[in-house]
Structure 1
Amino acid sequence: MPASSPTFRFIDLFAGVGGFHAALASYGGKCVYAVEVDKAAASVYERNWGHPALGDITKDADKDEGLMKVPAHDVLAAGFPCQPFSKSGAQHGMDETRGTLFWNIASIIEAHHPKVVLLENVRNLAGPRHIHEWDVIIETLQDEGYRVSETPAIFSPHLLPPERGGRPQVRERVFITATHNPEGIGEGLPVHPVALPGDSIDGWGPQEWHLEDLLDDSHNIAGCDLTPAEQSWINAWDEWVQHWYEATEGRRPPGFPIWADAWTEHNRVVKHFGFVPGYRDLMEDDPTLPKWKAGHLAKNYDLYARHRGWIDVWARKWNIYTDFPPSRRKLEWQAQDTPRLWDTVMHFRPSGIRAKRPTYLPALVAITQTSIIGPRRRRLSPRETARLQGLPDWFDFGDQRPAASYKQMGNGVNVGAVWHVMREHVMRDEDVLKHTAAGRRIIAAVTGAPPSPDEILGSMK
């Protein structure tokens, strides 16, 4: 720890299993309040951080009801629910009940005015569909006397080098960082975001990541194994990739989605048009067909026309059209020149088998799309997903089902990203923070800490 006694007090709202706690405790902060409505996540939180978290923020902080059970604190951290803003949800924003949970955060801020506010959400919060919600959040903080950037701070842990707490996971998140500034110090000057999309740190190139540094077969569990059917799907498409390289003299597979089902329509479509149609032909023939779909179909018709000889042999060998479910009759190749499908990182998605280069991983999600590590012929283990989120190897999920651990990691915040954003925020607002005792304690804790939380976290238990 940076200090033997707490340097600042923080609260952890919508705490999950404690990603914010890990980062802020590493800076020497002391958690004085944590709340998480999910019982399984709250149990893991208390198991690892020794602080109870189970509860409902609406029962502890509700301005309309005159409730304020949250104690005074210096730093407020909140990864408030992302479903109202996520692309995977309905995107109703603050019109949806869960979206109003921000007002419970605002009630706490109004009551206690913590020196630093650190909020995290999915990138889509700062997207065009949620301009109103974004403006409301920023204006609410400004009305309470906070210095806050109107430009979103967007950051991903794969942009941090490993020695700064980075991890090989593309996990772009929006961070809203604010400092209580009732005196208006620096008022009128531009407030810059603490991170911008694509900013790599210390010249780090994300292509330098090596997944082998993350993987550890000793933590495998039965749920990581691939079923015989899954192995068959990968074997079949791996063979397709080999045929493609041979037929095209080494040209990488197409970047558009490869749809085997389109090939079964080829003869009918060609007979209808009298030629292999392009996307304009398809759209003129069927005005209701979306342009994107017409484009993918046209490219697949052309691909099949050029390679139908070996494709037909391959399809018969593997019984593609009868034995494979529809979503496994599709391949999304995003692995560039990777020589084999088994050499990639894969995801089984409704849109097909997506393959990426084995450098860094897509974001963990709270649904069943856990990355498949082709060279290891298995999925990531829960321990490896915890490593991806920057949690130490002593972090303990207890005896809960692996599905629950995967869900918690998919919902969690990355420790290194929080650590970095907090540091950048303190450096940006040092001129404001230095005028109060709480602010000076935060400055000392953050600027006096090493460049990464890993060393500190490793020694905490």
Structure 2
Amino acid sequence: MPTELLNLQINPPKFTFVDLFSGIGGFRIALENWGGQCLGYSEIEPNSIQVYQHNFIRYANRDEPNLGDMRSLHKFPFTVDLITGGVPCQPWSIAGKLRGLDDPRGQLWLDTIRVIKINQPLAFILENVKGLTDPRHRPQFESILESLSAANYHLKWQVLNASDFGLPQDRDRVFIVGIRRDINQGQNFQFPQPLNQHPQLFNFVEGVSQEAVIKKKFSPQVLFGNHIPPARGRFQKNDELNDFFLFSDVRNGQTTIHSWDLIETSDRQKQICDIILKNRRKKIYGPKDGNPIPLAALQQLIDDLQESELNQLMQKRILRHIENQGYEFVNSKISSGINGVAKIYLAHAQAIATLTATGNQIFVATKSFSCQNHQRYKQEFINIIYHPQNYQEITPRDTARLQGFPDWFVLHKNPSIAKKQLGNAVPVPVVQAIAKLLLNFWL
């Protein structure tokens, strides 16, 4: 039995809470760490219920109900101090087709507001994807905020990143905090400031090199010439080499590796592939974000191009031909990567990309890699890390640590299900930092 759960049975609770859209319990871990007692949780997904009950209910010496479907919830049979919940985020994400409140899952916001209004907790903490705050969704977001405010609460909201709270994960999420209007000074709540912590992946991922690397600085002009790509992430510095390598035939970049980099190809074949890559997204070839290019068009783009040259690239499984359309890359999906590898991070990286429920295959180099020559960077990575297979996929336990879940937490036995559940979870240290400041208003 986990000692944390034993302690919870002995110590009287400092406050009570209800765990809505509980998933596998990220909110709960954070709040129990501050002495909270959960009076009930709401979850309908069977695998999540199984994991939640195994970790929190199985050993608890009390009768704690699953409150069931949010759409059926009304007045609780108890008074509660705090309500928390990660309302389903898919309606506000690209993967969820951006339907917002028109999506049945998006309408769960209305049920959340209704439950808060009826039960009038002292406060609430709600979490969702950053996309909820985007301009395209802003009217709906403002409507949600207005409804929560009208339910008798002072509101504050802010986008927080997990990397600011001790986790090496670049994960933006919007948090909404409400404090009931009769709570003294509740209108003065402020979100926590970033912690001065800079862990690296090797602090969280087992089986990789623990060697730190002092990164060399470059002039941005040396790395990018006169055009720095506009879509670089928070941890892609313009004066340093990236800490990851993207495997994709449909994108390009400082550390993007293509299939023609990984197998024997001539300079001419590389030239053909590079020209197809640079032109495949042009709208003259179709409306999609990448389209097959007809032979006639390719012959205008590439001097003296012979159809036999394209056939050779087809034999190497780099290109394929779509009848009546043209030629495109076999590896045409970014999420699929190349040969089952989408990204490989270096162990000394400051942050991994946002972990998602789709469970993209993300790998970490197991061997230290410290090449500081920007011209040889990709090729040496291929020689030292990729070809010798000095890399490993992150495990469910790695994923749990990257979300701030403690090692005592028992994960689902199926790795794919475990990663999906963790990708949907809330980062525990972020909630813990918010709750620490929020609880000061009535404890």
Q: Is the 8 A contact 1:45 1:53 kept in 2?
A: no
Aligned to 2:342: 353
Give structure 1 stretches of 5+ with no counterpart: 62-66, 161-165, 219-240, 242-251, 271-275, 295-300, 306-311, 333-345, 434-438, 442-461
The one-character-per-residue Cα deviations of 1:25-64 (angstroms, maximum 9, x if unpaired) are 0000000011111111111111111265645333541xxx
Structure 1 partner of 2:168: 168
SS at structure 2 position matched to 1:98: coil
| 2:151 corresponds to 1:154 | no
Paired positions, count = 338
Q: Tell me the distance in 2 between the aligned counterparts of 1:108 and 1:126.
A: 22
Q: Any stretches of 5+ residues in structure 2 without a counterpart?
A: 1-6, 209-244, 246-251, 262-267, 292-297, 303-308, 321-327, 367-389
User: Which amino acid letter does the alignment assign opposite residue 115 of structure 1?
Assistant: L
What residue number does 1:409 align with? 422
CA distance in 1, matches of 2:78, 2:184: 26
Q: How far 1:111 moved relative to its partner?
A: 1.9
Q: What's the TM-score once normalised by structure 2's chain length?
A: 0.64
Using the TM superposition, give the Cα deviation of residue 217 of structure 1 relative to its aligned residue in structure 2, in angstroms.
4.4
The 2-side partners of 1:87 and 1:28 are apart by 37
- The change in CA–CA distance for 1:349 and 1:33 in structure 2 (over 3 A counts) is farther
What amino acid is the match of 1:148? Answer: L
SS of equivalent to 2:92: coil
2:436 to 407, 423, 433: 423
Letter in 2 for 1:419: Q
Measured after TM superposition, the shift of residue 107 of structure 1 is: 2.1
> How many Å separate the matches in 1 of 2:425 and 2:103?
22
Report the CA distance between 1:322 and its aligned residue.
6.7
Q: Residue 113 of structure 1: CA displacement? A: 1.2
Deviation of residue 210 (structure 1)? 2.3
1:9 partner SS:
strand
Displacement, 1:132?
2.0
Structure with more of its chain in helix, by fraction: 1
Matched, 1:216 2:206: yes
Q: What letter matches 1:421 in structure 2? A: I
Indicate which of 84, 94, 100 corresponds to 1:87: 94
Q: State the SS of the aligned residue for 1:136.
A: helix
The code of the aligned residue for 1:158 comes to S
Aligned counterparts of 1:363 and 1:268: Cα–Cα separation in 2: 30
- Whether 1:19 aligns to 2:13 is no
Residues 1:58 and 2:70 aligned together: yes
The code of the aligned residue for 2:116 comes to: I
Tell me how far apart the structure 2 counterparts of residues 372 and 103 of structure 1 sit (CA, whole Å): 39
In the other structure, the counterpart of 2:360 is 369
TM-score, normalised by the number of residues in structure 1: 0.62
Query: What residue in structure 1 maps to residue 411 of structure 2?
Result: 397
Q: Distance in 1 between matches of 2:345 and 2:365?
A: 10
Shift of 1:22: 0.1
Contact 2:48 2:421 in 1 (8 A): yes
Deviation at 1:173, TM superposition (A): 0.7
Aligned to 2:401: 387
Aligned partner of residue 84 in structure 1, secondary structure: helix
Q: Which moved more, 1:368-377 or 1:31-40?
A: 368-377
Letter in 1 for 2:11: S
- Cα 1:349/1:115, change in 2 over 3 Å: farther
CA deviations over 1:140-169 (Å, ceiling 9, x no partner): 1211221112xx411122112xxxxx2211
Tell me how far 1:412 sits from its aligned partner.
Answer: 0.6
| SS state at 1:56 partner | coil
How many Å separate the matches in 1 of 2:204 and 2:185? 44
- 1:201 and 2:195 correspond: yes
Report the counterpart of residue 83 of structure 2 in structure 1. 76
Equivalent residues of 1:121, 1:175 under 8 A apart: yes
How many angstroms apart in 2 are the aligned matches of 1:123 and 1:266? 39
Question: Hey, what's the Cα distance between the residues in 1 that align with 2:134 and 2:83?
Answer: 24
CA–CA distance in 1 between the matches of 2:345 and 2:364? 10
Structure 2 residue matching 1:215: 3-state secondary structure: coil
| Rounded Cα–Cα distance in structure 2 between residues aligned with 1:113 and 1:353 | 46
The answer on whether the counterparts of 2:167 and 2:403 sit within 8 Å (CA) in structure 1 is yes
Instruction: Compute the displacement of 1:372 (Å).
Output: 1.2
SS state of the match for residue 170, structure 2? Answer: coil
Q: How does 1:270-419 map to 2 (within 5 A)?
A: 286=284, 319-321=316-318, 329=331, 348=337, 353-358=342-347, 359=349, 360-375=351-366, 377-397=391-411, 400-419=413-432
Output the CA distance in 2 between the equivalents of 1:352 and 1:327.
16
1:84–1:98 contact (8 Å) kept in structure 2 = yes
Please list the CA deviations of residues 335-369 of structure 1 after superposition, one character each: whole Å capped at 9, or x if unmatched: xxxxxxxxxxx984899834544412112111130
Q: Which amino acid aligns with 2:134?
A: G
Please, what is the CA RMSD of the aligned residues?
Answer: 4.4
CA contact (8 A) 2:34 2:436 kept: no
Contact 1:347/1:355 (8 A) holds in 2: no
- The Cα of 1:184 is off from its aligned counterpart by 8.4
Residue type of the alignment partner of 2:353: P
Asked if residue 10 in structure 1 is aligned to residue 7 in structure 2, the reply is: no
Per-residue deviation, 1:382: 1.3
Q: Secondary structure in 1 aligned to 2:352?
A: coil
Report the Cα distance in structure 2 between the residues aligned to 1:347 and 1:287, rounded to whole angstroms.
23
Once residues 331 and 89 of structure 1 are traced to their aligned partners in structure 2, the CA distance between those partners, rounded to angstroms, is 18
CA distance in 2, matches of 1:330, 1:405: 28
Distance, in Å, in 1 between the alignment partners of 2:135 and 2:91 is 14
The 3-state SS of whatever aligns with 2:84 is strand
Partner of 2:213: none
Q: Does 1:109 align with 2:99?
A: no
- Asked if the contact 1:170–1:362 (Cα under 8 Å) also holds between the matched residues in 2, the reply is yes
Structure 1 partner of 2:387: none
What displacement does 1:133 show?
2.0
Q: Distance in 2 between matches of 1:349 and 1:103?
A: 42
